[in-house]
């Protein structure tokens, strides 16, 4: 994203590996102490990390490089080298090379030995326009971020909803009794406060801890999909450990 682009003919040069030439400066974060021989065209290979891309290229340009390659020692992923601020002083081309290319270049330079390795940089039409990068940064990444936030929001909402409900297993464990008019006692409710139907003989009634009674299917649906509270007296049907494991463990630790 800075410096000059390669021409149609590409760029021919001799590879200079800073890791051999000046091992302390392998990342190119300072200019080479000894400038390269100006009679040759040098393509200088340095390593990613330590400082910004443009700083590296600037340093190598000041050291006499015709072009710069920045190798990634960690990842095998090509990236575009971005830079902030004014980069108009950078006039040489530079390119990032992913780990396998980086290691390939180093090996080739080793194999070439003392006679040195001549390489030619050519334009890659596919990477010429960083269109995909720009698209990713301006559109896709905010969309991904928003999608992520939305998923988190839905998860939180679901968690909150679940916290307001009674677990099905627990509801199933609450006692059930069969209603008979013959066993009806004065003062007891004779109708289901949810569906407002009178209890009939042999109706299955769920008895909540507060002693309020409802049709099994009415109260089970209420407790597992609406609220874990008794519709009449609002008492929580779940013991603390059932409704809020976090709270109960805190209480236990306090005790």
Euclidean distance between CA atoms 247 and 240, whole angstroms: 8
Q: What are the two backbone dihedrals, phi and then psi, of residue 228, each rounded to the nearest 5 degrees?
A: -90, 20
Touching Zn ion, residues 139-198 (CB under 5 A): 192, 194-195
Q: Which is nearer to Zn ion, 48 or 215 (CB)?
A: 215
Nearer to Zn ion, 117 or 208 (CB): 208
Report in angstroms how near the CB of residue 161 gets to Zn ion at its nearest: 22
Query: 122, 233, 240, 247: which one contacts Zn ion (CB under 5 A)?
Result: 233
Out of 26, 68, 230, 238, which residue is the one contacting Zn ion (CB under 5 A)?
230
CA distances from 67 to 10, 41, 91, 206 (A): 11, 8, 9, 81
Instruction: Determine the Cα–Cα distance for residues 202 and 181; give it in Å rounded to an integer.
Output: 9
Stretch that binds Zn ion, among 52-60, 66-74, 149-157, 204-212 (CB under 5 A): 204-212
**CB neighbour burial string for 190-210, b if at least 16 within 10 angstroms, e if fewer:** eebbbeeeebeeebebbebee
Min dist CB 219 to Zn ion, Å, is: 7
Least separation in angstroms between residue 190's CB and Zn ion is 12
Q: Does 212 bind Zn ion (CB under 5 A)?
A: yes
Query: Does 232 sit near Zn ion (CB under 5 A)?
Result: yes
Residue 181 DSSP class:
G
Nearer to Zn ion, 154 or 226 (CB): 226
Burial label for 98, CB within 10 Å (0-12, 13-18, 19+), is middle
Residue number, 56 or 206, with CB nearest to Zn ion: 206
Q: Which of 26, 230 has the CB closer to Zn ion?
A: 230
Among the listed ranges 116-124, 125-133, 140-148, 203-211, the one in contact with Zn ion (CB under 5 A) is 203-211
Return the SS3 of 180: coil
Distances (CA, A) of 106 to 37, 51, 103, 238, 244: 20, 21, 5, 67, 60
CB of 225 to Zn ion, least distance (A): 15
Least distance to Zn ion from the beta carbon of 170, Å?
Answer: 16
The DSSP output letter for 36 is -
Question: Is the CB of 155 or the CB of 195 nearer to Zn ion?
Answer: 195
Positions touching Zn ion (CB under 5 A) are 192, 194-195, 210, 212, 215, 218, 230, 232-233
């Amino acid at each position: 994203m800075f410096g000059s682009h390669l021409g149609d003919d590409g760029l021919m040069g001799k590879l200079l590996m800073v890791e051999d030439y000046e091992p302390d400066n392998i990342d190119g974060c300072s200019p080479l102490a000894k400038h390269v021989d100006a009679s040759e065209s040098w393509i200088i290979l340095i390593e990613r990390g330590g400082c910004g891309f443009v700083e590296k290229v600037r340093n190598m340009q000041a050291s006499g490089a015709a072009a710069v390659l920045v190798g990634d020692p960690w990842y095998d992923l090509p990236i575009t080298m971005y830079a902030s601020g004014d980069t108009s002083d950078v006039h040489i081309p530079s390119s990032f090379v992913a780990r396998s290319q980086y290691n390939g270049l180093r090996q080739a330079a080793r194999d070439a030995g003392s006679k040195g390795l001549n390489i030619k940089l050519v334009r890659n039409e596919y990477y010429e326009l960083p269109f995909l990068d720009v698209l990713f940064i301006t559109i896709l990444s905010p969309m991904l971020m928003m999608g992520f936030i939305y998923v988190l929001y839905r998860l939180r909402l679901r968690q909150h909803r679940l916290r307001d409900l009674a677990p099905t297993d627990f509801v199933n464990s609450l006692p059930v009794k069969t209603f008979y008019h013959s066993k009806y006692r004065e003062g007891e409710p004779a109708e289901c406060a949810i569906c407002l139907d009178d209890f009939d003989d042999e109706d299955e009634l769920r008895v909540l801890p507060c002693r309020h009674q409802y049709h099994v299917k009415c109260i089970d649906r209420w407790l597992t999909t609406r609220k874990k509270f008794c519709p009449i007296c609002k008492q929580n049907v779940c013991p603390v450990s059932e409704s809020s494991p976090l709270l109960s463990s805190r209480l236990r630790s306090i005790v």
